[in-house]
Each structure stands twice: as C-alpha cells, then as structure tokens.
Structure 1
Amino acid sequence: MKLSRIFICIAATMLVIGDASFAQDERLSIEWIFSEEGKQADSVPLHAWLDSGQAILYDKRPPKNERTLEIFNPANGRRKAIADAEKVIAEFTELLQPDDPIEELGWPNAFDPTGRWAVYEKSDNIFVLDLRSSKLITVTMTDAKEKSARFSPDGKWLAFIRDNDLYVWSIKDQEEQRLTSGGSETLLNGTLSWVYWEELFGRVDQGYFWAPDSRSIAYLQSDESGVGEMHYVDFEPYLPRLIRQRHPKPGTANPRVRAGVVQLDDAETTWVDLGSYPYEYVARVKWLPDSKQLAVQTLNRPQTELDIFFADAETGRTSHVMRETNEGWVNVHDDLWFLDDGEHFVWLSERDGHAHLYMFDMNGELAHQITSGEWALRPSGGIAGLDRSVAYIDERDRWIYFTSLASATTERHLYRVHFDGSGMEKITHSAGAHAIYFQPDGNYYFDRSSALDRPPSFVLHQPSGESVTTVTASTQSIPQRFDLQPWELLIVKARDGFEMPAMMLKPRFFDAEKTYPAVVYVYGGPSAPTVVNAWTGRGRGYFHQMLADNGVVVFYVDNRSAAGKSKTDANSIVRQLYGPVELNDLLDGVEWLKAQPYIDDTQVGVWGWSGGGSMTLQSMTGSKEFAAGVAVAPVADWRYYDTIYTERYMKRPQDNEAGYESSSNAGRAGDLHGRLMIVHGTYDDNVHPQNTWSFTDGLIEAGITYDMMIYPMRKHGISDDAAQAHVYKSMLEFWQRNLALGD
C-alpha cells in the first residue's frame, strides 16, 4: 500500500468547543462522567405529544426527587407541573417497598392520547397514574409477570401481557379481560421472541397493535418450541441458577410466527392467511386507517425479498400488494404511510441504490418516485422502536416532511417535498444533527439538535422552520468548565478513492512539533456510522476527552459499508461481514493517521464495543498496525450470533461456509498482534460470552497472554453506573500501561 493513494480533506472550518479564555483547571474524571450530574448535564426533556396538541415533558436535570411531569402548551410556550411527584413516589414506596425503591417519579411506559392517564410498570406489576389527582390505580398486583402495557387509541382500555397472553383492562370499570389463551414458555401471544425483539423491532416489545377504532388488536403469535436454548449462570444464589433463553443460531430453526386479530367483544382470534406465499419472518404489522384491513410485511430467510399483504381483519383473507427485493438484503423500516384519500400509500425503498420515497396505489402499482438523487433518507430519532425517516405528512397542502443526508452524510436535516416530488426545501439550517418530532396535527415540531461543537438543544418550531420557543437551550457550561477540546471533521480517501468520513480529537495543549499516541475508536457495522456532526458527551464522548487530557489523539473513521452513503456501498460486505472490505478501509484510515508528523506510529491503539469489539479483534489479528486494543463484548465467530442479524449479511452457514470460516476471529486468535484487553458481561444475551471464551481459548492455545475484565450478571451494555465506571476506569489504566500516555 502506498501513501500516495490516500488523501485528506479537512473540513473548511474546524469545529471549536469553547474558548481558551474559559479554560479551567478542572479535569474530567470517571467519577464525574457517571455521576448524576455527568449523565444529565447535556440532556434535554423527554416528551410525548398528545392529541390535544399539547405535550408532556420530563426534565432529568433537576435532582431526582424534584423531577416531575409537566404539561407544555406550544401556543404560548408555558409549562407547568401536572403530577405531585412527592405524593406519587410515596404511594409507590408504600406499595412496593422494599422490592423496588423509588427515587424519582420517572418517565411512564405510555400515556393515553388525552394525557389524563400514564402507565408505569414496576416490580413486574402495572399501575395507572391519574394525572389530574396524582393518584395511583393498581392494575395488577400478582405473582405473575405483567409487562408491555399500552393504551388504546380512544383511551378507554389498557392492553398488557401476562404469562405470554394478551389482556385488556377497562379504565372505566377497572376490570380485566383475557383475550388470548395457551401462552406458555414456548408459545408467545402478543409478546416478541427474543430474536424479533433484538433484531426486527428495535428492542421494544411491540408484539401487538391496536386498531385505530380500539375495537380489536392485531398481534403476533410465536412458537419457539423448535428454537435452540442458550444458557447463563446466575452466580448470586448459594446454589447457582441456570437461566435459559431461546436464541436461534445461524442456520438453525427460527420461531414460527403468525399474525392474528382478536376482537375485544368476544375475544375470538382470526388468523391472517398468507396462502401459498412462503415466508420466514413477520417483519411488520400496521393497521390501515379504516380499521378493516391491516398491512403485514414478511421476509424470506435470506432477507432479500420483502412482501406486503393487505389482510381483511374479519376474515383473515389476504391480497399480495407488492414485493421489495435487493441482492444484498432488504432493510426493514416503518416508512409505510397510508393517505386519507384511501387510494395511495407512501413507501421508502432502496431500489435505486439510495433510500428514497415512492408513491404507490393501493394495488401496489408504482405511481411515481417522490425523492431522488445521490443521497439517502435517514431516520433522525423519533419514537423508540420505530425506524422512520418521514417525520410528518401534510395531506392538506401535500407536503412530506422527512430527514435525510442530502446536504452531508455526517449531518441529519429536515426537508420537505411535494407529493409529486417537486419543490424540495431544506427546513433546518444550523449545522449538525436534527432529531424531529412533529405534533399530531402538524402545527409544530420539536427539534433536538446538536453538533460536535454544540451540546443539545430542544426547540419548538413551526413547519416552516421558524423557531417559536426554546425549551432547553444549548449550554457551553460543560465545555467551558472542562476545557473540552475541538473535534475536526475529516475526509480520508481509501485506496480506491472512496471518501471515508473521519474525525479527530487532539490533546489539550497540542504541539504539532511533538508526537502523540493515538487511539482509534471503531464500530464498522452496516449503515452504522460513528462519524456524525453531533454532540459526543455522555460516557464514551467524555471518556475520549479524558484521553485527550492524557495526551492521546482520538480518531474515528467509517468504512464504506458503515458510512451509510448508499445501499450499494453497504452491500459490499455481503457474505463477508467484518471481512476484508471493512478491514482494508480501516487500515487505509490508520495509514493516513500514522503518516501525520504528530503521531507516534508505534503507539496506536484500537477499541470498540459489540461490533466495534469484533472490529478490534479483526484488526489485531488481521494486521500488525496496533500496539494495543480493547474489545468489549465482541463477536468472535458469526456462528455464535443470532439468525436474523447474521444471515441478513452472511446468509446461512450452509450456504456460505467459506465466508464464516474466513471471518472467524476465534479461528485466527493465534495471529493476535499487540496487547489485548477483552471485556464481557456474563449475562450478555446479545453477544453470548461464549464468543470471549472461544477467542481467549485460542489465545491460550497459542501461548498469548491477555488482559480480561468480566462483569458478573451484566448484559451487553454493562449498563449500571458502577459497572460502566469500572469499564472505563479499567480501559484508561490499560491505555496508561500499554501506550505512552502523557499526564
């Protein structure tokens, strides 16, 4: 590889955080980062729009016992408390102590559309809070586990899951009704199997769907009896307890899933009949506005074909509407929008290599393409569990509001376009990433916005983009207090000329005449960029500032699949996930980094979490470029992961044996170059610890020593404050031992 193949373009303007005149002696610490102040210093309120046009807010910056729910009126910008937090906390404490101590009111699991009621799930039971009186109503108090509570659209019912069956509870009568039966350890009604929850539904247990008229519920039934088990050991009891989980491995049986509709008046289920169409996954269910039909999306096993069916809610009969295909895989999303005329729907497709909007008639015939160009729509945020790029559709004036990468792949902006594709306009103009949340009637939207040099703000706007009220202003207090260093946005060209987004953080008191160690942060998964012009505080971002305080250059670079520029680029990794494409791009970025005169090319480390941990193992076994690395919760062999994610990119092991073999980090553990610290939680149900056991066993066989941090009964995120702080403290000490860090 020759350096002449790699070029750099530094963004025209360096992004500078703060001003030297504000520099203080105070330094960031692990303790502060994971303190309540550190976690909430750059937060903005949680919110929920109501049908009335008002919103409910929950600000997490005050002390825990002072946080409460507030009503926000967009017409005048006023907000006031609507819950007596002290009273509700006392009620919860009386009901649950000592099982579940309550320190703060907290954000509810759901609100009813009017904002009268909020539902909380505590200690596996369900409670409804009357926001007018701040009184709690006990919905369930049983030995069973109840979960996934959601209100009906008319606000009269609350649905929930008990022991894998679906129930409803009448708010008026305060009585429950069972809607399904037969739920068991392996038959799930209205609740998702683990692999669906993890890989298809955004880690939200969205296994049932209220009809718009609130008279029936569509739900998924999952039969897991043929799915293999994974095991975890709970060490806390004197006799350790074995935890079992249905977890399908690549090439093995998936849960068998079907969709049904149950009526509230008779609790009878009608099953959706997909006829002779074979399918592997039920990927989405969505009601049509008339409550008479629902749209069911299915995927084949390789995930190269997505079919949309319209099902009659009364009979279960279906009609096949359309098929979406892609030679790599079809991305599942929530951008299916039915128009009020009853004759058309809007659909997002990557059929031309980029994610764009299309208009179809109700027979699935293409009317016209709405957006086009060498750019893609991209979700900016939105409701948890929903993958939406369309923020709002104004049917009266025939505008579609959406977020995209049209202006820059490292930014997220709001645009609008007419139904016919004309008149596209950019609505947001401040540099950075904008997460957009429209009011139900479209008169206003909230914009949660930030940039690398600007902590988040939360501002109310009109659809034109005009600012109305600043709910939470961006503050420079933290950047100034800790003298945070500026990030530079870069473009680094790979060997074939592909422009990879990158960014760099230089040490405090940087001197271009000196040389510094560097740490490369990686993720690398398909369409999962790390280089975004958005605030990087909280946890990892502040930790990287600590590395800069210790004289380290921090560097990010996104490979062509991760950058999210196009589906064509993403497809480059099919059948070789975390293989030569990603590795070569990373090494090209590292070659450029090492060529900078201020980098000590013998002192470059690499680290990542989850997929980034996998990339760390791959880069340390597939090259000699790194002096040290930290792999947190890494995949060591794709045969150890799950069906849906793995087969989306790798296909089944039976169909791609060579790809699985060549991508196995465990199989080349003996090629490790550099000092490794590997980190895992023993209850990681995403990347099972067998990955770490397998890789470290290979190191032992090869006589290679390593560092290890194990977190008992922690899951994939190792997410409690004590464990998070321990991970980052251990990592800092590791870098201090293995790279030539300053003070």
Structure 2
Amino acid sequence: MRFTRLILALLVIGTSSVFAQEKQITLNEIWNGTFSQQRLESLNSLNNGTEYIVLNQDRDAGTTSIDVYDYKSGEKQGSLLKSSDLDQINRFQSYELSANEDKILLSTEGEQIYRRSSRSIYYIYDVASKKLTKLSENKVQEPAFSPDASKVAYVYDNNLYIKDLESGKETQITTDGKKNKVINGITDWVYEEEFAFVKAFEWNANGTTVAFLKFNEADVPEFSMDIYGQDLYPGASTFKYPKAGEANAIVSLNMYDLKSDSSKEITLGNYTDFYIPRIKWTNETDVLSVQVLNRHQNKLDLIFVDAKKDKVEVVLTDSDKAYVDITDNLTFLADNSFIWTSEKDGFNHIYHYNKKGKLINQITKGDWEVTNYYGFNPKSKMIYYQSTENGSVNRDVYAIKTNGRGKKRLSEKEGTNYADFSADYTYFINTYTSTTTPAEYTLRDAKTGKLVRKIKDNAALLEKEKAYGFSPKELSTIEVNGNELNMWMIKPSNFDPAKTYPLFMFQYSGPGSQTVSNTYFGANDYWYQLLANEGYIVVSVDGRGTGFKGAAFKKVTQNELGKYEVEDQIEAAKKLGDLDYIDKERIGIWGWSYGGFMSTNAILNGNDVFSMAIAVAPVTSWRFYDSIYTERYMTTPQENASGYDENSPINHVEKLKGKFLLVHGTGDDNVHVQNSMRLIEALVQANKQFDWAIYPDKNHGIYGGNTRLHLYTKMTNFIKENL
C-alpha cells in the first residue's frame, strides 16, 4: 500500500512539474546573466564596529562609490568617497583603507597577470582633505600602507619601493629585480597559484621594518606559450614554471630597516630546497613569524625571527605522513600566544599555543572539520569559526571560548552559512544558501546568533525561476567501495520512474575538493537543468580524496592521484546504472581541469561503463604540472615514477571505445595546452577517433565574449548527439 502511494506521489509531482514549466531554459540565458544572484560587494567593517562599507557601482553613469551603512538599521550614512566628485578618475575597480581609515588606496586601469596577480595605476585619497594623489606613473603591484599610513610600499618591475606620502620621496629598496631572474616582494607563478598569495612583504607594527621574500628564478625552467592575438606574426609569453621534479626558485627572507636604509638576508636554519608559504608579524613589534615547509610538504616549521637580536627560533612543528595544509588561520593574541589549526588528530581543528609554542589546549574536537576560522574577540575571549558539525555537505557558524567551553551555534538554518564579523565582533552578516535557497544576507547578533535584520535576499530570482519549473537538486549518499559518498541528482522535470534515462555525471575529484554541498545553483547547475529538460539525469558524486570528511578520507589518494578517485566514479556509475530508471548503456561523464583528468581516465579505464566523456583543460600527465601542487600529493617523478605513469591517460589511449571530446585554451598558463597536445598525439597514433576543440589565447577559465556560450553549446550538442 505504501509503495502504491509513493508511485502516485511521484506521478503527481511529475505532472505538477509539467504544468508548472512555462519556459525552457536556454544557453543564452545561462551565460547572459539572467539568473545572476544579488550579492554584497567588497563589504568591509569600519573600526567603530557599528558601520560597514560597500563598493557600489553605477554602471549607467560609469561611476563608483564607497558607501557607509549602519549595521543595526541598515540605513546609508553617507559615502566615504564618490568617484563622481573626483577630477582625475571616473571610476575605480577596488579599494583598500589604511589601518586608521584616514586614507584609501584606489585601483584603476587594472591589468590581470595570472589568476591572483594584477598591476594597476593607483591613487591615494585623503579622507579629511579629500585630496587625490597618484601613487606612481607606472602600473604597480600590491601597494600597502604603513601602519600609520604615512608611507606606501609596492612592487614595480620585480623591485620593492617605498613612497613617503608627505614628502613624495620614493625609495627603491631592491635593485636586482628582473623578469624571469629575480623577484622581490611578490611571489613567483607557482607560489601565487598553489600557496594562494601574491604580496610577499609585510610592514611591522610601528612601520620601522619591512620583511620581504626574494625569489631567485635563475635555475627554474621556462615555459613559453604562443600568443596569437590580432597581429600578422604571433608573439609568445615566456615565464618560469617549475614542473614536478624540476628546480624551484630559491627563496630567501629579507629585512629592510627604514632608519638605516639597509637590507639583510635572514638565515632561517639548515634548510635545503624549501618553501616559505607565509610570513606574518607577531604582536611583538620586532618578532616575525615565518612558516617553512620542506619540499615534500609533510613537515612545517613555525619560526619566530627577532629582527633586532637576529635570533631565529623554531616554536612549532606540524608534520603528517602525507602533507600539511597551508592556511591563513595563524592569529596572535595580546600575550603573543597564538591560534593554530591542524589535522593532527585526523580532523581539522583549532589549537591554542603559548608564545613558546607549548600547547595550551585543543579548542575544538570531534569527527568533523573546522572549515573557516573567523577570528578572536579579545573582550569576550571567544573564537568564531565555521564547521561541518551538522554534516559534511552543510556549514554552520559557531562561537567557542579559548578553553574549549561555551560552544554556541550562531547560524540557524540547515545549509551553508558564512559569516562576516564587524570589527568589534558585535555583529556578523550571515550569508545563507541551500539547494532550494539562493543567497540570503542577514545581520545577526554575534553573542546569540539572533536575527537583527534582513539585509538582502534573492526572492526575485526564485520568482523568476518559477516559470521554468526547475527540478530540485536532491542530496543523498551512495555506498561505493566501502564508503558512503555524498551525491546530488537532478532529474527531468517530467521524470517518470517507469522510463529509462541516460545518465550524465559531473565531478572534480581533486584532493580536498567538494562538488556535493547544500548550496544553490551556480551556472553549471542551470546547464544541468537544461540537460534535464532534454531528458538526462545529472549526478555528481564526491569520491575518496575529496574533502571535509577527515584527513584519512582525503589523503587516501596520496602518491596515486587518479587511481581511487577513478575507481569510485566507475563503481558509482555501475550502481546508478542498476537503477530501473537509468539506461546503463548510456552513461557519460565530464570534468574541468582535475575533473578533465578524471573524466579522461574514466572513459579509458571504465570503457565498459562510460559511453561518452568530455574533458576540459585536463592534466593528462602529472609530469607536466607544477611542482608545489603535484609533489604535495605525488612526491617527485624521480621518487614515484609508477604513480605518475600508471594513472596518466596518455598511457591508456588504446582502451578508448566511447565518444570523447577534448577541449583546451592555448593561453592556459596553469594546465598547459601541452597536456592536450600530447594526449591528442597519443590518440592519433593509437588510431582512435575523437573530437577536440582549441580556443586561441584563452586561459584555464576559457571565457571572454561569447567563448563560454560557444563552449557550452559545443558540449551540449556533443552530449545530445552521443549520449
């Protein structure tokens, strides 16, 4: 009887969806912003803790403003700055306030370099006098105010400079900077990409010393990319790119003393072939913290460097059989004790150490992960963080005392919650989303988590979507190879359990990643809705090696990237293919970057399961990828040749049976088009037929103009023709 009711319910739901669906989604709508969500842009709390500022842009007028809002009321209090009031510039792209909030750095004429780096013309705006001054006639990188905002340090042409804002005097700190040779004050390509930072210098608290990193790239092999452009003859971009097992830049720590106008290199210890992924001044003015990581990335030393006494001391060592993750969570308290996060008990948690590196206590504990560290309130002695305590697909915001007591959940709704705290931790803006709810912004009391006011939601987007009758993204788990794996599924809106449907799988699968979460649609999800309307069931499964389920689950793929992850995707496809409503003869898979590496391996090693695959910008051999990322999980090719080669799709091309589409951009500085070219040649020599597309001068994101629309049109047509 219950079974009959279930079938009836499914039929009713299916019928209701058919009648509710008035419009069919199109690729143009997905990529022209029809389903864009309302967001809060560049929000920052002011020091008073009662107000915040937001970057607002008037696109019609072509102007920009930094507007001030009251946290509690939400009322606009005025503007710190309006570009319409300035004579020299019409608009600016970004801003940065000085610590005392009396000056603002404005970025204009921005020019992207790599993923995180850019150069711009910068101006300095004095809030009191309303005077605007150009920092330099040159496009510079990473300008930063001194603590009292009397000076700005920045990098130009790989050299570090300091400008005195009162006198206008400019001092060049380094002179040996040269492209593809030596870099001062900013990171090289591989640090930027894999350690996720660009600015490699820091002012101390009283502005007397600047610590900076120097990269000697002389021995790093060069990579050259053709740039086709619009000219008669193409050009080339040549840059230093250390591939797995090759020479890295030699990094050194240096201190510049403003009073003596002199620099010195700091010897950190008996280290060889090492990384410095983070530097940060402690709360003792002359003491700098330096994180030193060995090349295998399984041992991390936290070092304190006393700039006055030339004293270097290792205060903490974190090690792991696989690797140690680098974070920005290190926080120094008033007594110079510090907060640290680590996976040393098997899950990522928060620890408190005294200034000598002795453990005071482990603050958070449990079989769940701390996923964001938000900060410490010195008045209440509370620490704020985000975690997976309510399940690995969810995120909640919590407060806890430094002694590990008094824990309180501050977020209310099940789903994904992020927090942005006011400077004094009185309030936080909670960003909430779930599979059924696009971003909602609410102001919350930081002590209780109670709602103060609603700020912004996307109710209009939900109303707009009603006409399309979108299918829900169903979260569940699937048992595969002895593990309960997270999964989502999108079915056709007129789903009939008595029919059979082709299955299209998406995955990324990289170490520590996550594609299955309790969040609302992104651009690809709308594409999946389009495919569902065409009669496909779309699924994503997070297999072994993905994140937020503990270190053991994440690090099982160590030294064997592409083995266990592929096994899980193949087994998941088999299990799903056994469902009555899925046609096991029509199962496809796709992915981008690491996901493209995976989808390629899946159709080769799972050629009896997958009949079609799409790979966009894939790694095809980890020998071709950069040193920091690859060696973190694989060690070097010299040490682990079999791990590199046995899981490389280039070495399995003879297994191809199904339909395969390969896509790459020639301007991809990250996963070089070399990867696809080598795979293409191997497939050709194996006499395997396949489809491929090359996008001239497009980087790893393959976007710009109609590029994304063209790419997704090609992929959609390929799926409809071959699955």
Q: Compute the TM-score of the two structures, normalised by the length of structure 1.
A: 0.89
Q: Which residue of 1 aligns with 2:385?
A: 402
Alpha-carbon distance change, 275 to 116 in structure 1, aligned in 2, over 3 angstroms: closer
Which amino acid is 1:516 matched to? Y
The equivalent position to 1:33 in structure 2, one of 30, 35, 39, is 30
1:197-276 counterparts in 2 under 5 A?
A: 197-200=192-195, 202=196, 204-236=197-229, 237-276=231-270
Residue deviations 1:311-361 (CA, integer Å, cap 9, x gap): 01234431111111100111111221211123x212111111111111212
Please state how far the C-alpha of 1:92 moved relative to its aligned partner. Answer: 3.8
- 1:177 corresponds in structure 2 to 171
Tell me, yes or no, if structure 1 residue 442 matches structure 2 residue 425.
yes
Is the CA contact 2:95–2:104 (under 8 Å) kept in the aligned structure 1? no
With over 3 angstroms needed to count, the CA separation of the structure-2 counterparts of 1:601 and 1:353, relative to structure 1, is same
**Structure 1 pair 135–181 and aligned structure 2 pair: CA distance change class (3 A):** same
User: Which of 475, 496, 500 is equivalent to 2:485?
Assistant: 500
Counterparts of 1:24 and 1:43 in 2: how far apart (Å)? 27
The answer to whether the aligner puts 1:301 opposite 2:299 as a matched pair is no
Distance 1:370 1:458, change over 3 A: same
- The CA distance in 1 between the partners of 2:133 and 2:713, in whole Å, is 43
Q: Which has the higher contact order (CA 8 A, sep 6+)?
A: 1
Structure 1 equivalent of residue 475 of structure 2: 489
Query: What's the offset of the Cα at 1:59?
Result: 4.9
| One of 408, 419, 441 as aligned partner of 1:458 | 441
Partner residue in 2 for 1:47: 43
Q: Assess if the C-alpha contact under 8 Å between 1:215 and 1:265 holds in 2.
A: yes
Q: How far off is 1:64 after superposition?
A: 7.6
Say which is worse superposed, 153-162 or 331-340, in terms of deviation. 153-162
Counterparts of 1:227 and 1:653, CA distance in 2? 17
State whether structure 2 residue 440 is matched by structure 1 residue 480. no
| SS of corresponding position for 1:604 | strand
Superposition deviation, residue 670 in structure 1? 2.1
Note if 1:112 corresponds to 2:98.
yes
Query: Could you report, residue by residue, the CA deviation over 1:587-606 in whole angstroms, capped at 9, with x for unpaired residues?
Result: 22212221221112122111
Contact residue 93 and residue 106 of structure 2 kept, 8 A: no
Stretch of structure 1 that moved more, 57-66 or 420-429? 57-66
Mapped to 2, the partners of 1:81 and 1:36 lie a distance apart of: 28
2:562 maps to which residue?
A: 578
Aligned to 1:628: 612
Q: Distance in 2 between matches of 1:286 and 1:78?
A: 36
What residue number does 2:125 align with? 130
Letter in 2 for 1:482: Y
List runs of 5+ in structure 2 lacking aligned partners: 1-12, 111-118
**What is the distance in 2 between the residues matched to 1:198 and 1:460?**
34
User: Do the aligned partners of 2:92 and 2:106 also contact (CA within 8 Å) in 1?
Assistant: no
- Equivalent pair of 1:432/1:451 in contact (CA under 8 Å): yes
User: What displacement does 1:230 show?
Assistant: 0.7
Once residues 21 and 730 of structure 1 are traced to their aligned partners in structure 2, the CA distance between those partners, rounded to angstroms, is: 27
Change (3 A) 1:63 1:449: farther
Cα separation, partners in 2 of 1:267 and 1:28, compared to 1, 3 Å: farther
TM-score normalized by structure 2?
0.91
Q: Is the 8 Å Cα contact of residues 56 and 72 (structure 1) preserved in structure 2?
A: yes
Q: How does 1:328-727 map to 2 (within 5 A)?
A: 328-342=322-336, 344-378=337-371, 389-463=372-446, 464-475=448-459, 476-496=462-482, 498-537=483-522, 539-579=523-563, 581-624=564-607, 625-727=609-711
- Which residue does 1:738 correspond to in 2? 722
Using the alignment, how far apart are the partners of 2:60 and 2:610 within structure 1?
A: 43
Q: Which amino acid aligns with 2:490?
A: L
Task: Output the amino acid matched with 1:536.
Answer: F
Q: Is the 8 A contact 2:83 2:89 kept in 1?
A: no
Preserved CA contact (<8 Å) 1:630 1:676: yes
Per-residue CA deviations over 1:547-590 (Å, capped at 9, x if unaligned) read 122221110100121143011111211110121x1112112221
Equivalent-residue separation in structure 2 for 1:683 and 1:212 (angstroms)? 41
Pick closer, same or farther for the CA change 1:478–1:85 going to 2, 3 Å: farther
* CA distance 1:60–1:707, change in 2 (3 Å): farther
Q: Distance in 1 between matches of 2:240 and 2:552?
A: 34
1:189 aligns with 2:184: yes
Q: Give the match for residue 152 of structure 1.
A: 146
The range that moved more, 442-451 or 475-484, is: 475-484
Aligned sequence identity (%): 29
Would the aligned equivalents of 1:523 and 1:609 in 2 still touch at CA under 8 Å? yes
The 10-residue stretch of structure 1 (183-192 or 412-421) with the greater mean CA deviation from structure 2: 412-421
Contact 1:274–1:318 (CA under 8 A) maintained in structure 2: yes
2:68 aligned residue: 71
8 Å Cα contact 2:57-2:63 kept in structure 1 = no
The 3-state SS of whatever aligns with 1:401 is strand
Q: 1:639 to 1:235 in 2, by over 3 A?
A: same
Name the stretch that deviates more: 645-654 or 422-431: 422-431
Q: 2-side partners of 1:263 and 1:235: how far apart?
A: 45
Q: Once the 2 structures are TM-superposed, how far is the Cα of residue 91 of structure 1 from its aligned partner?
A: 4.4
Whether the aligned pair in 2 keeps the contact of 1:637 and 1:691 (CA below 8 Å) is: yes
- What displacement does 1:136 show? 4.8
Structure 1 stretch displaced more, 439-448 or 474-483: 474-483
Q: Please tell me the residue identity of whatever aligns with 2:719.
A: W
Give CA-to-partner distance per residue, 1:599-636, whole Å, 9 cap, x none: 12122111111110011011011112112111010000
Return the alpha-carbon distance in structure 2 between the equivalents of residues 568 and 627 of structure 1: 32
* Partners of 1:622 and 1:292 in 2: CA distance: 57
Shift of 1:676: 1.0
Q: Distance in 2 between matches of 1:63 and 1:674?
A: 50
- The one-letter code of the counterpart of 2:82 is D
Is the 1:43–1:61 Cα contact (8 Å) retained in structure 2?
no
- How far residue 483 of structure 1 moved from its aligned partner, in angstroms, is 2.6
Aligned residue in 2 for 1:386 = none
Count of paired positions: 693
1:254 counterpart letter in structure 2: N
Residue of structure 1 equivalent to 2:279: 285
Return 5+ residue gaps in structure 1 as ranges. 1-15, 94-104, 379-388
Structure 1 Cα separation of the partners of residues 708 and 261 of structure 2 = 46
Instruction: Give the Cα separation in 2 of the matches to 1:490 and 1:462.
Output: 33
Cα pair distance change 1:21/1:674, threshold 3 Å: closer
Kept in 1, the 8 Å contact 2:488–2:540? The answer is yes
